[in-house]
Amino acid sequence: MYKSTVEWLDSRYQIRSRVKKNFLDKTVPKHATAFWYCFGGLAFLSFVVQITTGAFLLFYYVPDPDKAYQSIYYISHIVPYGWFIRGLHFFCANFMISFVLLHTLRVFYTGSYRNPRELTWLSGVLAMLLTLAMAFTGYLLKWDQIAFWGMTAVSNFMKYIPLVGNDIRMIILGGDAVSGSTLSRFFALHIALVPAILIIILGAHFWMIRKLGISRPL
């Protein structure tokens, strides 16, 4: 059944020939086989794991000030293998940040940001900032004492930004202090807006890499 299904799809959409042309037969420079050229791919793999584990966590997480912490406890201690899914989500978040930073340092060190790859570099920097934004918004979703007071401290620093500090603080918090509105906003940012923008940026980033190729080392 599997073979006949693949044959049926391939006869209509030429899937295997497209995969062979665009992935299996793609020439890669010899220098790009070094392990420090793998950080970008590992960061993307971590992002895929984040999306997958995050989707499972959404089955049980409740973005409500009265229930958020209890739902996290329920996932970690009651749901079968919930501790594993949550742990994988947590550690892959740290791995993703580490790999993105290492990838950025590698690109900078090897001069891969130079002409004609300036836009590839800029899209990568934007992807790095969005990765940090995902980590920042996800930190509050635990809704424990550390997350609550940590966010309170960070939001207080925003007041010192000249001219627009208070406005930015009000928009992010949804009020004058960390509250249920803050949790709702961070939940929407973490699971929808930031990942959606990141996927678009990564699509453009990968397309430019495919178009321009991998640069040579210094």
List of the chain residues with pLDDT < 50: none
How far apart (Å, rounded) are the C-alpha atoms in residues 29 and 215?
A: 9
Residue 64 burial by Cβ neighbours in a 10 Å radius (0-12, 13-18, 19+): middle
Fold of 37-212: Cytochrome Bc1 Complex; Chain C (1.20.810)
Please give the pLDDT value at position 14. Answer: 87
Asked whether the beta carbons of 142 and 72 are under 8 A apart, the reply is yes
Structure tokens at 21: 């042309």
3-class secondary structure, 28: coil
Name residue, tokens 């969005």: 130
Please give the pLDDT value at position 21. Answer: 80
Name residue, tokens 């971590």: 46
pLDDT tens for 15-50 read: 888 888 877 777 778 888 888 999 999 999 999 999
Q: H helices of the chain, where?
A: 2-13, 15-19, 39-58, 68-77, 82-109, 118-140, 145-158, 165-173, 180-188, 194-212
Return the domain boundaries, the chain.
37-212
Please give the pLDDT value at position 218. Answer: 64
Please give the pLDDT value at position 201. Answer: 97
Tell me the C-alpha to C-alpha distance, in Å, between residue 140 and each of 64, 78, 160, 195.
12, 22, 22, 16
How far apart (Å, rounded) are the C-alpha atoms in residues 95 and 199?
A: 18
Please give the pLDDT value at position 49. Answer: 97
3-class secondary structure, 193: helix
CA angle 127–146–78, rounded 5-degree value: 90
Number of other CB atoms surrounding residue 123 within 10 Å: 21
**Going by C-beta distance under 8 Å and a sequence separation of 6 or more, which residues neighbour residue 203?**
none
